[in-house]
Structure 1
Amino acid sequence: MARRHDGGGPAVVVTVDPAQLDLSDFVRPGDTITWGQACGEPQTLTEALVAQRSRIGRMRAFVGLPATDTLKPEHADLIEMASYCGTGSNRKLAQAGVLDIYPGHYSTVPWLLSDGPYRVDVVLVQVAPPDGNGRYSLGLADEMLSSAIRAATLVIAEVNDQVPQAHGPGSLTEADIDVLVHTSRPPAVVRSAAPSPESDRIGKLIADLVDDGATLQLGIGAIPEAVLKGLTGHKNLGIHSGAIGDGVVDLVERGVVTGACKSVDRGITVAGLIMGTQKVFDHVHRNPQFALRDTRYTHSHDVLAAQHRLVAINSAIEVDLTGQINAEVAGGSYVGAVGGGADFLRGAAGSPGGLPIVALPSTARGRSRIVPELSGPVSTSRADVGLVVTEFGIVDLRGLTLAERRHRLIEIAHPDHRAELAESAGR
C-alpha cells in the first residue's frame, strides 16, 4: 500500500472488515509503531498486531500506560518494546527485561515520536464515528497521538461506535487516515484506585490547601482520587490536567468544577487523556465544556504558568531528606515514570498563587518513604519540589536550606522512623 510520506503520493482511504484485517498488508518489517494508551487503546488493532506479528516481521513499538494486558513478554520475540512508564501491565514487561524505558519528561514524548529517535512509521488510533462535518474525534486520548499522527506515514483508525465524540482540535478527517476498521466494543476502562486511611488523610490535607477558584492538575492513583473527594465543598474550581477520570465528573455534577475562574480556557475542563469508566465517557461525549488536547498543550509551561492558582498534585515512590523525588523505581523494579511531574510542578511554581505538591504515604510495606538517600533515580530535582505531603502533615520546602529541609521532612515521616532518619541526618 502507498503511504502518505514515503514518496508513494497520497493514498485513498481503505476500509477493511475487522474479520478480514491482515496488518501485514500495511505494516512493514522494521516499522516503529505507537497507539493510544489507557482507555484510548484500539484493542482490535493491537490484538491483531500481536496475533499477526509473525506475518509482519520484527518491529518496534512505543507504548504508553496500559489499561489492558495486550502486550505480553512472549511478544518480544518480534516486537521490540519501549515506553516512558512501567505502570500497569508494563511492569511485567519490565520485570521480564523486554521493556526499554525512555527516562524523559512527558512533555518531550511528542518530540520523541515525531522528530526523535522513535519517530513513528505507523499509528494505530481509536476514534469515534464521524460527526456531521466528517470529523473523527480522538475520543479518549489525544496527548502524544496528535504529534505521532502528523509524523507517521501510515494511520490505521479503529472507528469504534462506543467511543465518545469528545471536543478538541485533534480530530481527524479521512485525509488523515489511510485505513479504516469499523468496530463496536466497550473501550478499556481504568477504575479508581482503592482508598486507604493514609490516602484519605492526605487527600483532606491537600484539599484544605486549595482555594476556591483554583485550577487543578491531578496525577494518577489513590491520593488524587482522595483529593477530589475532599473538594466537595469548594466553589468554581477548574481542571487542566494530563488525565481526568470519574472523580472529576462527580465534582462537575455537584457544581464544584465550573472553570469560571480559569485564566486560560475559561469554563472548559482540559485533559489529554480520559482514564475512567463509562461514567466519564458519557460525560465528555459531545460536551462543549470539555476539550481533549495534545501533550504540547496540556504540559506547556507557558499555558500552565498562565493558569489561575494552579495546584499541581503528583505522587512519588520516595523523597530524600533534601527533597529529591524518585517516581520510577521501587525495590529495584521499574514501576513508575518520570512522567509529567516536573512539567506540572514547574508550571504551578510559575502560576501566581500556584502550589507545586508532591504527595505520598509515609511508609510502604513497613519501610519509610522519606529516606536519607533515594534507592532509585532522581525523577524530579529538589529545586523543583515545593510542598511535600504525607498523612502526618505538610512541609513547604520553598525557600528552605538543606538543613531546614532535613528537619522539616523528618517531622512528616512516620513516627516509627523519625529517630533513624534523624540519626542518618547527623543530629
Structure 2
Amino acid sequence: MPTSKHWADSYVEKTVSAEAAIGKIQSGQRVFIGSGCGEPQELVKALVAKANSFSGLEILRLLTLETVSFAAIADRTKDTSLNVRSIYLGSTRSEAISRHKRFITPMNMSDVPMLFSTRKLPINVAMIQVSPPDDFGWMSLGISVDVTLAAARAADLVIAQINPRMPRVMGQSFLHVNYVDVFVEHEEPILSVPYTNDPSEADQLIGKHIARVIEDGSTLQIGLDAASQATLQALSNKTDLGVHSQFLTDDIMQLYARGNITNQRKGFNDGKMVASMAVGSEDLYEFLNDNPAVDFHPSDYVNDPFVISRHNRMVSLNVAHSMDLTGQMAAEARLSSRFAGISGIADFVRGARRSPGGKSILMIRSTSQNEDGSVRSNIVPHLQDDVVLVPRGDVHFVASEYGIVNLFGKSLQERVIAMISLAHPDFREELFKESKELGLIGTERTLGEAVKAIYPVKLEEVLDLDGQRVTIRPSKPVDERRIQEHYYTLPKEDVLSRFFCQKSHFTRTDVEARSHTDYVNALSLVAVTGEFGFGKIVGVAEMMRLRGANMAEVAFSVGRDLQGKGLGKIFLRKLAEAARENGLAGLMAFTSPGNKGMIKLFQTLPYKVQKRLEDGDLVLTCKFEDVI
C-alpha cells in the first residue's frame, strides 16, 4: 500500500534477503511468479528451498521456460506441500506437459489480467522481477509485462527482486516503489533464449510462401516458433512494416535494425513497436532498454481483439501443431519454447481478420517425427486428443512448405482439397481416401497427378498489365471452380479456337485435368486478378507431354479484357522455360490455319518454328535445340 514516507527511505526499510522475503509467505496462500524470461530466479530458488515447510501452497504462473519444475515438487509431495496452476491453452502431446495436465487452466491471454484484477482468482503474493527504481521511484517490469503487472496490482503482498540487468522498457510497464511490500536486491543474468539464425528448409519454404501475401505497410504479430522467425527473415525486402505482437524477438530486432520495420503506417500507435513480453538473447534485452520506439503493455491491451483490429493490414502469424482437413487448428508448447502454447493465438486470429486489409496466417509443417523415428502427417482427417485452439470458422490463410491457401468462405469439400495440397505427398492419397469415408468430399473425386506434385513456386510472377495487377502462377487443385468459371465466360469464338468445337459444357473432369497436374508431365498456368484466394482467373495456359514423343502440346485461353496485352506471350515464354527444365525437346500447338494470332505468338519464341497441315489443322512446332 502507498506510504507517506519518501520512496527512497521506504525502499531501504523494505529491502531484505531472499530468505526473509519468502518467510513472509504462509501456507494455504496463492503465489504468482513473474512470467516468461522475467522469472525472478533468486526468489524462486529461495521458495523451492523452503517448499517442504509449506502445506496447501498454490503456485500460479504461465507455462514457461521454468528454472524449477514446481509440478515435479507437487508430484513428489502428492500435492500436499504445494499445488500448481498453469495458464495454458494448447495440446499436451509432449510428455513433460502431458503428465502435469491436471494443473492446466485454459484461458485466452487477453482475459487473464481481468481474472486477477476482479479477484475472481485472488492472489495473495506476487513474486516479480523489476529494474532498479529511477529518480522518481518507478521500476520497470522490463521484458515481462503481460499478466505480471495485473498480478502485482492485485496481490495482497508484492515481493520484487531488483535486478540491475533488467532492461527499463517504455510503455505501461512501471510499478512504483510505494506499491511494493518487500524488495530483494540480487543481480543475475535474465533468462534468455540464444539467438539462432538457422531455420530448417521446411521453415524457410513456409516463410517464402507467406512473404508473397504480406504487403508493404502491414502490421505484424509473430508467434514463437522457428517457422515464425523464418517468415520474418523472408520479409527482408518489405518496407514500412509495423509490430503489434505478444512477443518481441531477436528477428524483429534485426528487421527493425535493417529498416524494414518503421511502425509509421500502423494506423494505431504509429511509431511504436507494441508488445507485452520479450523472449530472446541478451542483445535483444539491451536493445529494449530505454528504447523510445518500444512500448510494452499488459495482455488485456496487447491481446484485445478490438485493439488488434484497429491496425492497418494487421497480419497474425502463428504456428499450428496439427490441423484437420476442415481447418481446425491445434497448437502445442514445445519443450524448447513452451511459450508457444500460451494462448494468445485466438485473440490475434480474430483481431487481425477484422482489421482493414488484415489477414490471419497459420503455419504448419507438413510432417513431424514420432518418438520411434517414424514420420506422421500434421494434417489429419480430424483432431482427436488435441485441443482445438482456432475453430474452422476463424481460419483464414494456411501455409506449409508445399504452398499457401485461403480457406475463408470455402466449403468443406474445397477446404479438404486445399488442405491435402499442403500435406506431404506421401500422405495425400490416404488423406483423400479418409476424407471420402468421412463424407467430406464426393466419392467420384480424384486427385489425379496432383497426389505427388510439388508446387513450383519459382514459376510465379506478378505483373502490371495496363495498370492491372495480374499474378501468373501454376494452377492448384483449389483452382477447379475458378478455371471452370473462366471457360464459361469465354466468347463462343474463343471457345471454338481453344477446343476446336462449340463446347457448351465444362465438366469437373475437364477442369480436374487442368488443376490436378504433376507440374512435370502436365502443367497449367493461370492468370489471376484480385485478392488472394478470391481472385478471378482471366487466363489459362496448358502444357501436356505427348505420349511417345519428347514434346509438349500447349494451348491457351485469355479473357477478352486482357487480350492484346501480352499475356499470351508471357504464358508461352514460361511454358517453354518449364518444358526445357523438365527435359522436353520442344513445344507444339494445334490451331486453325487462319489463327494469325497464334502463329505470331509462336514466332515470338527464340526458336525456329515449323508449320504443317494435319487433317485441316495447322500444327506449329519448335525445338529448343533450333535456336534462331
Residues 218 and 314 in structure 1, CA contact (< 8 A), matched pair in contact too: yes
Give the Cα separation in 2 of the matches to 1:234 and 1:329: 30
Q: Which residue number in structure 2 is paired with residue 160 of structure 1?
A: 163
CA, structure 1 residues 129+261, in 2 after alignment: closer, same or farther (shift >3 Å)?
A: same
Does residue 126 (structure 1) correspond to residue 125 (structure 2)? The answer is no
Deviation for aligned residue 1:232: 1.2
Stretch of structure 1 that moved more, 167-176 or 215-224: 167-176
* Alignment correspondent of 2:118: 115
Q: Give the letter aligned to residue 292 of structure 1.
A: F
Q: Match of 1:129, SS?
A: coil
How far the C-alpha of 1:31 sits from its partner, in A, is 1.1
Q: Which residue in 2 is equivalent to 1:55?
A: 53
The structural deviation recorded for 1:98 is 6.9
Q: Does 1:16 align with 2:15?
A: yes
Residue identity opposite 1:367 in structure 2: R
1:8 alignment partner in structure 2: none
Aligned-residue offset at 1:381: 0.6
Counterpart among 373, 376, 380 of residue 371 in structure 1: 380
Question: Does residue 202 of the first structure (1) align with residue 211 of the second (2)?
Answer: no
Given candidates 163, 169, 172, the residue that maps to 2:172 is 169
Name the counterpart of 2:306.
302
Question: Does 1:416 pair with 2:426?
Answer: yes
Distance 1:281 1:422 in 2: 48
SS where residue 21 of structure 1 aligns?
Answer: helix
Question: Secondary structure in 2 aligned to 1:156?
Answer: strand
Alpha-carbon contact 2:330-2:388 (below 8 Å) kept? yes
The structural deviation recorded for 1:24 is 4.5
| CA distance in 1: counterparts of 2:297 and 2:84, whole angstroms | 26
Distance verdict in 2 for CA 1:329–1:265, change over 3 Å: closer
Are residues 94 and 163 of structure 1, via their aligned partners in 2, closer, same or farther at CA, if it must alter by over 3 Å? Answer: same
Q: Tell me the percent identity.
A: 33
Q: Which amino acid aligns with 1:252?
A: Y
Equivalence for 1:44: 42
The residue number in structure 1 matching 2:554 is none
Shift of 1:86: 8.1
Whole-angstrom distance in 2 between the partners of 1:420 and 1:235 = 42
Aligned to 2:84, the other structure's residue is in SS state: strand
**Which residue is 1:231 aligned to?**
235
In structure 1, give the amino acid aligned to 2:406: D
User: Which residue in the other structure is 2:360 paired with?
Assistant: 356
Work out which of the residue numbers 330, 340, 344 in structure 1 matches 2:344. Answer: 340
1:213 to 217, 230, 254: 217
1:395-423 deviation digits (Å, cap 9, x = unpaired): 10111011111111111111111100100
User: 3-state DSSP class of the match of 2:60?
Assistant: strand
Equivalent-residue separation in structure 2 for 1:114 and 1:310 (angstroms): 29
Match of 2:88 in 1: 85
Alignment-mate amino acid for residue 248 of structure 2: I
Q: Which residue of 2 aligns with 1:270?
A: 274
Alignment counterpart, residue 144 of structure 1, candidates 133, 144, 147: 147
Q: TM-score, normalised by structure 2?
A: 0.63
Distance 1:424 1:117 in 2: 45
Moved more, 167-176 or 186-195: 186-195
Structure 1 position 91, deviation (Å): 6.0
- Given residue 16 of structure 1, which amino acid in structure 2 is its aligned partner? T
Matched, 1:318 2:316: no
Alignment-mate amino acid for residue 131 of structure 1:
D
Q: How many residue pairs get matched?
A: 413
125-134 or 320-329, which moves further after superposition?
Answer: 320-329
Tell me: CA distance 1:240–1:175, structure 2 relative to 1, closer, same or farther (3 Å).
Answer: same
What RMSD, in angstroms, separates the aligned Cα atoms of the two structures?
Answer: 2.3
Aligned match of 2:404:
394
SS at 2:245 equivalent: strand
Give the match for residue 9 of structure 1: none
- Which letter does structure 1 place at the counterpart of 2:15? V
Q: How far, CA to CA, are the matches of 1:138 and 1:54 in structure 2?
A: 30
Instruction: Work out the CA distance in 1 between the residues paired with 2:378 and 2:400.
Output: 10
Q: Distance in 2 between matches of 1:182 and 1:91?
A: 37
Residues 192 and 281 in structure 2, CA contact (< 8 A), matched pair in contact too: yes
User: Contact 1:23/1:56 (CA < 8 Å) preserved in 2?
Assistant: no
* Residue 150 of structure 1, CA deviation: 1.7
Give the 3 Å change call, closer, same or farther, for CA 168–338 of structure 1 in structure 2. Answer: closer
**Residue number in structure 1 paired with 2:372:** none
TM-score normalised per structure 1: 0.91
Q: Tell me, what secondary structure is at the counterpart of 1:241?
A: coil
Shift in Å at residue 66 of structure 1? 2.3
CA distance, structure 2, for counterparts of residue 352 and residue 86 of structure 1: 28
Q: Take 1:306 and 1:189, find their aligned partners in 2: how far apart are those partners?
A: 32
Q: Do the aligned partners of 1:22 and 1:52 also contact (CA within 8 Å) in 2?
A: no
Residue deviations 1:279-336 (CA, integer Å, cap 9, x gap): 1101110011101110011001111001010010011111111111111489xxx996
Between 1 and 2, higher relative CO (CA 8 Å, sep ≥ 6) is seen in 1
Residue 399 to residue 134, structure 1, CA distance change in 2 (3 Å): same
